[in-house]
Structure 1
């Protein structure tokens, strides 16, 4: 595929995006690198999602989930095949950081297999046990709970 000169634009997701979001997330979930999200969950949480578009095609997504008064998590961050390595993920993370700052939240974290990507975007690797909010809300129900191989990253927002 030739290099894309077209710029991706990030925007808040709408209910019209649910089917595309479900398909994109399902592709990652099938590989075991993202938790699945049902259409019902996506509909309930649509206001937490942003999408990246090139033309009228959604090529990426991400969401921001509040874990406490001072902490949010980047979730469901994914880019469509053929569009990786073009800076779209960084644009989505920038949009999520903007939203966290807008809400006055000083810390943003993620659990990831893509540590270098997050480090490039200003995050630092931390011990995941410093996030009891995450452990008690999500990890207790995760099939990988006792053998989690994801790496925790954190960025302090000013």
Structure 2
């Protein structure tokens, strides 16, 4: 069963996330962060044999970055439950929530390109990522050489009023620095980055 997380789920979903973080697959999350952002998360819950006891076996977060972007993050399923489609169900729950919130674009940073392509995500040029997303990367050990793949899914057209066609776009939406030595350096200025109305996704080369 896929449902929204509750505060009672935090210890278990925190363990799932942080176990994956030990392998460098995502960021560690503190109990403070998880309690403060519990409304971001969906969980996959399984009933034990007694039919009453429930255990959390998967988690996925959705955070709104700005009026035109939300991020799917911290997607993880316990090893014994992988291959059952729970990850996909969690992603779809996040997608549906983004639609309900009226967010037109979803993005994620991932190592699982093939998985996210199954759910309508396409590779995105990192130059199009909002700079605010990099605020999370400061805490990552790979923050000077990020090797994750940026991907996005378009849910609706992006209004010009929140896109790069604004008259102040040149100053409001600074560009992300180009890659260095095969990786990307986290910008020191962390603000809302530029987001273009989609014509075609640009592949990362």
* 2:29 counterpart of 1:46: no
The correspondence for 1:130, drawn from 128, 131, 149, is: 128
CA contact 2:4–2:39 (8 Å) conserved in 1: yes
Gaps of 5+ in 2: 48-53, 157-205
Give the number of equivalent residue pairs. Answer: 150
Q: Secondary structure of the residue that 1:54 maps to in structure 2?
A: strand
CA contact 1:129–1:135 (8 Å) conserved in 2: no
Stretch deviating more after TM superposition (50-59 or 86-95): 50-59
Partner Cα separation in structure 1 for residue 100 and residue 133 of structure 2: 25
Residue 24 (structure 2) aligns with: 32
CA contact 2:65–2:133 (8 Å) conserved in 1: no
Partner Cα separation in structure 2 for residue 118 and residue 148 of structure 1: 18
| Alignment deviations for residues 18-55 of structure 1 (CA, whole Å, 9 cap, x no partner) | 11011101110110111000011100000111101121
Shift, 1:140, TM fit = 4.1
Q: Relative to total residues, which structure has the larger helix share, 1 or 2?
A: 1
Q: Secondary structure of the residue that 1:147 maps to in structure 2?
A: coil
Query: 1:1-158 counterparts in 2 under 5 A?
Result: 9-55=1-47, 56-158=54-156
CA contact 2:59–2:90 (8 Å) conserved in 1: yes
When the two chains are superposed, the root-mean-square deviation of aligned CA atoms in Å is 1.2
Q: Relative to total residues, which structure has the larger strand share, 1 or 2?
A: 1
Gaps of 5+ in 1: 1-8
**4+ aligned runs moved over 2 Å, structure 1:** 132-143
Stretch deviating more after TM superposition (51-60 or 101-110): 51-60
Residue 5 (structure 1) aligns with: none
Residue 6 (structure 1) aligns with: none
Task: Sort the Cα spacing of 1:32 and 1:78 in 2 relative to 1 into closer, same or farther, 3 A.
Answer: same
CA contact 1:68–1:133 (8 Å) conserved in 2: no
